[in-house]
Homo-oligomer: A and B are copies of this chain.
Amino acid sequence: MDVDLDKIPPHLLEDPDPIFAFNKAIIDATHHLAVSYKPNTAFYEAYGMKGWKSFQKTIEYLNAVYPEIFTIADAKRGDIGNTSTMYAKAFFNDLSFDSVTVAPYMGKDSIEPFLAFENKHTIMLALTSNQGAFDFQTKKINDTELYKHVLQTSKTWKNAENLMYVVGATKAEYFAEIRKIVPDNFLLVPGVGAQGGSLADVCKYGLNDQVGLLINSSRGIIYASKNENFAEAASEAAKKLQQQMAPYI
């Protein structure tokens, strides 16, 4: 749910809260096809106080109307211990998200404050779907790429069973190696669709006996149409992806 006012159907701009109106319509039209929604905080912060209000209304709506849906605050946070605790409180307690994405650069004591929250999940960046992933993530430390080092090290942290990892679909050939290190953890997989990742390859190498994959598609679904029928078009696009996934599970 990366909502950009320049990309949503123009008729919604007359609504007092166009972002929430858009999200609500998309959620209502796709909830039977989705296991999770993932608003990215950047797109709400970009609209200041109004954006934060839309963000808050979106998660409140999800929790009230579709409590079975797994919610992800895509925030990519991470800071020294006491500060990470503040972020964790913000997303887990105040906003009641089920999970939040975090960045690993600052290490163990920046992530364990998130892991300390019971019945919540912390989703750490491992191998991302962008070109910049090759700047640092794939560089080798003693013959082991940094992202594998991140996976191996984080497995030893307190409450590591609450960890999930971001692994981009654009790098499907890496999934086999990743599954050797984290056979059981759920992986959040962006990059199918707009960014060109292959669903077949991701499933071939990434599935485990609990499925273990949460495939994300964003722009391909929410911006399927700019017309008044946008929600219906989103539902169609989601259904198409769901049908592509069905044979694999």
Contact present for A42 and B107 (CB under 8 Å): no
CB-defined contacts of A14 to chain B, threshold 8 Å:
none
Question: Is A94 on the interface with B (CB-CB < 8 A)?
Answer: yes
Q: Give the interface segment out of A29-37, A134-142, A197-205.
A: A134-142
Question: Is A43 on the interface with B (CB-CB < 8 A)?
Answer: yes
Contact present for A107 and B133 (CB under 8 Å): yes
A138: min CB distance to chain B, Å: 10
Q: Give the interface segment out of A19-27, A64-72, A75-83, A229-237.
A: A75-83
Question: Is A184 on the interface with B (CB-CB < 8 A)?
Answer: no
CB-defined contacts of A56 to chain B, threshold 8 Å:
48-49
Bound Cα distance from A56 to B129, whole angstroms: 33
When C-beta atoms are compared, the residue in chain B nearest to A87 turns out to be B42
A232: min CB distance to chain B, Å: 26
Question: Is A116 on the interface with B (CB-CB < 8 A)?
Answer: no
Contact present for B146 and A132 (CB under 8 Å): no
A interface residue numbers (CB < 8 A to B): 2, 4, 40, 42-43, 45-49, 52-53, 56, 76-81, 83-84, 86-87, 89-90, 94-95, 103-111, 125, 128-137, 139-142, 146, 149-150, 153
Q: List 17 A-B contacts (CB under 8 A).
A: A43-B86, A45-B87, A46-B89, A46-B90, A46-B94, A48-B94, A49-B52, A49-B53, A78-B103, A103-B106, A104-B105, A104-B135, A105-B137, A111-B132, A139-B141, A139-B146, A140-B141
